[in-house]
Amino acid sequence: MKTSRLFTLSLLCVSALIAAPGEKQKQNPAIQNAYKTGDETAKTLLKTLGGNLKKHIKTGGPADALTFCSTQAIPLTQAVNGKLPKGVGVKRITLKTRNPGNAAEGKDKAVLQALQMLNKNDVRLPGRLLRDNGDSYTYYKPLVINKPVCLKCHGTQIDPKLKAQINKVYGSDTATGYKMGDLRGAVVVTIKK
């Protein structure tokens, strides 16, 4: 139990340090450029996926959106990656997966766990984080459930027909049970120095 609490406390401290850069970091052009690249890349991915998702919800409802996500989210993410500058990559991660390809691992998982702990303790999450890895930066943009429409597929009261479709398409889905304000995951941008 003590080890678990110490681990959690450590993650929270690391998360706070990453989220609140000191004055030297704020003035460092390389760090500012990494933030800019992360902001622009995350925005591009979210606009690409979100715009398409909205179209499918509008035309065919949550079932059509589910079909879109299951067949197009990964290819669209790969297409965005194909247009990025050399040394920059983007992906989405989560602790509760629908698509196993989005599972958070290693340090990414530790950052998400720290953010989740902050979120569960009613701490306002930062809009972005940056981790310096020595030869690269890792930029995180937390994704929070902030629209009721998200709960149609990820909430606690999913329409039984939709839930059956989710189970059929994904099999081992764990990406439900969310409520408004919950951390859903993050966009992660890797930027080589």
Instruction: For 94-149, write each residue's pLDDT tens digit.
Output: 999 998 999 999 999 999 999 999 999 999 999 999 999 999 999 999 999 999 99
Model-level pTM?
0.86
83 CB burial (10 A radius; 0-12, 13-18, 19+): exposed
Angle between helices 160-170 and 29-82 (to 10 degrees): 90
Residue spans of the domains in the chain: they are 2-192
